[in-house]
């Protein structure tokens, strides 16, 4: 199962010219700054926005092809859409909103009304009117309504942008539940990197209407252009791995390449699949093994490449025997340590510096 | 002082209510269609249609009545056809009074619907599309219910205005007691007769009360619907 997208659309001086291919089911994140063309692209996928030239196909079925004139009407695409502003029908109750798409679908149901209500915690809201809902509740209703239309693909356009931090934390678990328990294929538009790291399996990195890179999250996390979008402070290798052991003091040991990394992870067990991000700014490099330091992780590796960044900084990519790591150092440090491709190096990573979650 | 509602007053009141109601029922679907056409469709002659719809606002009502008489009179092109094929006579009938009223109040209704169309969030119709609703389905389940406040306000205002339509009615439908003598026509007749002062005053007070009630009702209805939609 695949989602294949290529689209071109000029709007004044802005030109969207994007193409990507992503495996499904999974969560494909369209990630980039505001104005990078994410919403335009997702509107083209939905069919709501006509493109100058486009080819969209889902699991081999062509939905749009401007060269052959194929253009499946939006209402027949079976592509759900959760809009930034929810767009819950103000004249209908929550229950009637949820039923709106369900009543109109001719597809076999993969989710039932009661399941969606339970999964999204909507039981107490069913009789309410949309204006009696909070922002987070409204987005959950929009999500449930889209799901009950039994979509083959669910588009989410920054569904949490209008929510504050606490409300965001209230909605995010529902999205992960959706991904894990229903395996609904999703395209998730976001400019929040932390959201993408928690939800996505695949990233389409966008800037100025172009796709800079696309691929699995761990691959794109190493892409030299990512730092330009998320900022150097947010860049760092993303590693998907499993928990090997727990030390009883809150630290977990996870396999990384041919070595073991100690990290702090909540709610994991031995064998849990986890996704870790090791911020590049928190990685110290040494050309000799180090002893007598508080850092618990001293990982041996080899320098793969070095990419110059702005402000005299360098992003160094290491290979830890099959797993990558990014380190952010100064140019001066590169000269002093004579770092270059192929050089043997040790990475020092504080246990508390890594960020991870069970995946 | 004798009872406020004399037979003459009740007759005029009933007639006015009937004429206004019929005119609203007749023109409502047309007004909604015209508003949709004017604010959403792009076609040659749109500006001309817009002007035609608004023409009764600026024309002397007597002129509107006269044009109706030319078109729908017994020998008019439309009137002749209607009489011959459907047996419908409009000139000098209650139905004719309703038609004249409908034409005169049409712009009011179109305007009210257009204003709410322009405030309508088209995103909701897009959402309905993504949920599998086709064009007609979307119109009846999303667009129309969301336009309801505007349509209601337009209908009530047109109804209130229709109670008092004078010039077009008297020209096209004449001033026949019990058939086309509505409140304003009865008021006019009373003013023309030497002993009609008391009757004229009653009719004037009644018209005033009805107009005020109509406008208040329109406002209350709009508020109630808005509250239901959470946009108060």
Helix (H) or strand (E) holding A295: none
The whole-number average pLDDT for the span B7-23 is 91
Chain B residues within 8 A of A83 when measuring between CB atoms: 123, 126-127
Confidence of residue A130 (pLDDT cuts 50, 70, 90): very high
Kindly state the percentage of chain B with pLDDT values over 90: 56
pLDDT score recorded for residue A309: 86
Q: How far is A50 from chain B (nearest CA, A)?
A: 13
Contact criterion met (CB below 8 Å) for A293 and A284: no
Residue of chain B minimizing CA distance to A82: B127
The arrangement of strands across the sheet holding A61-65 comes to: A70-71, A61-65, A53-58, A2-11, A14-23, A210-216, A202-207, A27-31, A186-190, A153-157, A79-82
Residue carrying the six token digits 């030109």: A15
The whole-number average pLDDT for the span B80-102 is 89
Three-state secondary structure call for residue A9: strand
Please judge whether A90 and B142 are an interchain contact, meaning their C-beta atoms are less than 8 angstroms apart. Answer: no
Kindly state the percentage of chain B with pLDDT values over 70: 97
Tell me which of A94-108, A120-134, A163-177 is least confident.
A163-177
Please judge whether A100 and B229 are an interchain contact, meaning their C-beta atoms are less than 8 angstroms apart. Answer: no
**A309 burial type by CB count under 10 A (0-12 exposed, 13-18 middle, 19+ buried):** middle
The whole-number average pLDDT for the span B23-34 is 94
Please judge whether A104 and B126 are an interchain contact, meaning their C-beta atoms are less than 8 angstroms apart. Answer: no
The whole-number average pLDDT for the span B203-219 is 89
Which residue out of A89, A99, A137, A187 would a mutagenesis test of the B interface target, given it has the greatest number of B Cβ atoms within 10 Å?
A89
Spatial separation of the C-alpha atoms in residues A23 and A40, rounded to whole Å: 21
Spatial separation of the C-alpha atoms in residues A60 and A3, rounded to whole Å: 8
Confidence of residue A265 (pLDDT cuts 50, 70, 90): confident
Tell me: the pLDDT tens digits for B171-190? 999 898 889 999 999 999 99
**CATH 2.40.50.100 given to domain A236-358:** yes
Q: Identify residues of A whose CB sits under 8 angstroms from chain B CBs.
A: 46, 48, 73-81, 83, 85, 87, 89-91, 100-101, 104-105, 129-132, 145-146, 149
**Pick from A48, A75, A131: CB nearest B134:** A75
Q: Which two tokens stand for residue A260?
A: 């073991």
CB atoms within 10 A of CB A344: 12
CA within 13 Å, CB half, B56: 26
Vertex A74: Cα angle to A68 and A75 (nearest 5) = 130
Please judge whether A104 and B132 are an interchain contact, meaning their C-beta atoms are less than 8 angstroms apart. Answer: yes
- Asked if B141 has any chain A CB less than 8 Å from its own CB, the reply is yes
The whole-number average pLDDT for the span A160-183 is 80
Q: How far is B218 from chain A (nearest CA, A)?
A: 19
In whole angstroms, how far apart are CA A2 and each of A201, A291, B69? 13, 49, 68
Which residue out of A100, A105, A135 would a mutagenesis test of the B interface target, given it has the greatest number of B Cβ atoms within 10 Å?
A100
The whole-number average pLDDT for the span A331-356 is 91
The whole-number average pLDDT for the span B88-95 is 88
Decide if pLDDT at B1 tops 50: no
Q: Which two tokens stand for residue A40?
A: 């335009």
- Asked if B178 has any chain A CB less than 8 Å from its own CB, the reply is no
Nearest to A51 by CA among A38, A36, A66, A39: A66
The whole-number average pLDDT for the span A254-268 is 86
pLDDT score recorded for residue B231: 55
Domains and CATH numbers, chain B: 7-231 (1.10.3720.10)
Vertex A225: Cα angle to A220 and A230 (nearest 5) = 80
Nearest to A307 by CA among A337, A285, A339, A278: A339
Tell me which of B99-113, B133-147, B212-226 is least confident.
B212-226
Residue of chain B minimizing CA distance to A132: B230
CA within 13 Å, CB half, A293: 14
The whole-number average pLDDT for the span A211-232 is 91
Cβ-based neighbours of B17, under 8 Å, separated by 6 or more: B163
Please judge whether A90 and B141 are an interchain contact, meaning their C-beta atoms are less than 8 angstroms apart. Answer: no
Length of chain B equals 232
Contact criterion met (CB below 8 Å) for B215 and B160: yes
Decide if pLDDT at B226 tops 90: no
Vertex A143: Cα angle to A141 and A147 (nearest 5) = 115
Q: Which two tokens stand for residue A143?
A: 């999500």
Q: Mean pLDDT of all residues in chain A?
A: 91
- Give me the numbers of helices (H) and strands (E) for chain B, helices first please: 11, 0
Residue of chain A minimizing CA distance to B126: A48
Residue of chain B minimizing CA distance to A145: B131
Three-state secondary structure call for residue A141: helix
Strand partners, A276: A239, A356
Tell me: the pLDDT tens digits for B151-167? 988 999 899 999 989 99
Chain B residues within 8 A of A90 when measuring between CB atoms: 124, 146, 229-231
pLDDT score recorded for residue A27: 94
Decide if pLDDT at A179 tops 90: no
Confidence of residue A9 (pLDDT cuts 50, 70, 90): very high
Please judge whether B126 and A85 are an interchain contact, meaning their C-beta atoms are less than 8 angstroms apart. Answer: no
Contact criterion met (CB below 8 Å) for A147 and A218: no
Chain A residues within 8 A of B130 when measuring between CB atoms: 46, 48, 74-75, 77, 79-81, 146, 149
The whole-number average pLDDT for the span B113-122 is 89
* pTM (global) more than 0.90: no
The whole-number average pLDDT for the span A196-217 is 94
- What ipTM was reported for this prediction? 0.86
Decide if pLDDT at A335 tops 50: yes
Confidence of residue A280 (pLDDT cuts 50, 70, 90): very high
Q: What is the DSSP string of A188-210?
A: EEES-HHHHHHH-SEEEEEETTE
Q: What are phi and psi of B139, to 5 degrees?
A: -60, -45
Decide if pLDDT at A234 tops 70: yes
Chain A residues within 8 A of B228 when measuring between CB atoms: 91, 129
The arrangement of strands across the sheet holding A297-308 comes to: A283-286, A344-349, A297-308, A313-319, A324-330
CATH fold label, A2-220 = Rossmann fold (3.40.50)
Residue of chain A minimizing CA distance to B132: A75
pLDDT score recorded for residue B26: 92
pLDDT score recorded for residue B232: 41
CB atoms within 10 A of CB B36: 17
Please judge whether A75 and B229 are an interchain contact, meaning their C-beta atoms are less than 8 angstroms apart. Answer: no
Three-state secondary structure call for residue B187: helix
pLDDT score recorded for residue B230: 64
User: Hey, where are the domains in chain A?
Assistant: 2-220, 236-358
Contact criterion met (CB below 8 Å) for B34 and B110: yes
Spatial separation of the C-alpha atoms in residues B120 and A10, rounded to whole Å: 27
Chain A residues within 8 A of B123 when measuring between CB atoms: 83, 85, 87
Q: What are phi and psi of A298, to 5 degrees?
A: -120, 105
Q: What are phi and psi of B161, to 5 degrees?
A: -70, -35
The whole-number average pLDDT for the span A59-69 is 94
Q: Which two tokens stand for residue A247?
A: 């030390």
The arrangement of strands across the sheet holding A355-358 comes to: A259-264, A251-256, A236-246, A273-279, A355-358
- Asked if B121 has any chain A CB less than 8 Å from its own CB, the reply is yes
């Amino acid at each position: 199962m695949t989602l294949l997208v290529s689209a071109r659309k000029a709007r004044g001086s802005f030109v969207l010219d994007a193409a990507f291919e992503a495996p499904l089911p999974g969560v494909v994140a369209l990630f980039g700054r505001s104005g990078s063309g994410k919403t335009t692209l997702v509107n083209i996928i939905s069919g709501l926005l006509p493109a100058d030239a486009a080819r969209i196909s889902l699991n081999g079925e062509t939905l749009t092809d401007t060269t052959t004139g194929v253009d499946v009407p939006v209402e027949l695409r079976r592509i759900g859409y959760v809009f930034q502003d929810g767009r819950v029908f103000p004249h209908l109750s929550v229950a009637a909103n949820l039923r709106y798409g369900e009543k109109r679908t001719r597809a076999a149901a993969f989710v039932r009304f009661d399941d969606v209500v339970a999964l999204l915690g909507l039981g107490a809201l069913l009789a309410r009117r949309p204006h009696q809902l909070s922002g987070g509740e409204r987005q959950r209703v929009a999500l449930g309504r889209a799901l009950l239309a039994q979509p083959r693909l669910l588009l989410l356009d920054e569904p949490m942008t209008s929510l504050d931090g606490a409300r965001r934390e209230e909605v995010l678990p529902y999205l992960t539940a959706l991904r894990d328990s229903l395996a609904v294929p999703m395209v998730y538009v976001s400019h929040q990197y932390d959201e993408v790291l928690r939800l996505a399996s695949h990233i389409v990195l966008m800037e100025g209407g172009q796709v800079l890179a696309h691929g699995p999250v761990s691959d794109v996390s190493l892409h030299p252009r990512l730092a330009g979008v998320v900022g150097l402070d947010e860049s760092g290798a993303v590693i998907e791995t499993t928990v090997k052991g727990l030390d009883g003091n809150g630290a977990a040991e996870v396999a990384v390449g041919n070595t073991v990394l100690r990290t702090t992870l909540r709610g994991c067990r031995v064998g849990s699949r986890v996704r870790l991000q090791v911020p590049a700014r928190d990685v110290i490099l040494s050309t000799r093994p180090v002893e007598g330091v508080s850092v618990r992780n001293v990982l041996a590796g080899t320098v793969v490449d070095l990419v110059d960044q702005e402000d005299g900084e360098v992003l160094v990519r290491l290979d830890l025997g099959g797993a990558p790591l990014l380190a952010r150092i100064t140019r001066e440090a590169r000269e002093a340590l004579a770092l270059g491709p192929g050089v043997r190096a040790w990475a020092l990573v504080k246990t508390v510096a890594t960020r991870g979650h069970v995946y | 002082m004798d009872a406020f509602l004399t037979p003459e007053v009740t007759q005029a009141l009933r007639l006015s209510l009937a004429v206004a109601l019929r005119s609203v029922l007749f023109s409502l679907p047309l007004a909604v269609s015209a508003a949709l056409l004017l604010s959403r469709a792009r076609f040659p002659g749109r500006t001309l249609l817009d002007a035609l719809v608004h023409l009764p606002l600026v024309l002397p009502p007597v002129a509107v009545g006269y044009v109706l008489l030319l078109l729908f009179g017994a020998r008019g092109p439309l009137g002749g056809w209607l009489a011959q094929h459907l047996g419908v006579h409009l000139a000098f009938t209650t139905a004719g009074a309703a038609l004249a009223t409908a034409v005169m109040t049409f712009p009011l209704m179109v305007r009210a619907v257009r204003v709410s169309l322009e405030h309508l969030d088209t995103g909701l119709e897009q959402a309905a599309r993504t949920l599998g609703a086709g064009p007609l389905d979307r119109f009846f389940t999303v667009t129309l219910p969301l336009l309801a406040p505007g349509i209601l306000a337009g209908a009530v205002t047109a109804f209130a205005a229709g109670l008092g339509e004078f010039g077009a009615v008297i020209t096209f439908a004449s001033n026949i007691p019990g058939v086309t003598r509505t409140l304003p026509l009865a008021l006019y007749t009373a003013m023309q007769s030497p002993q009609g002062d008391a009757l004229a005053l009653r009719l004037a007070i009644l018209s005033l009360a009805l107009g005020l009630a109509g406008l208040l009702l329109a406002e209350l209805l709009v508020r109630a619907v808005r509250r239901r939609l959470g946009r108060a």
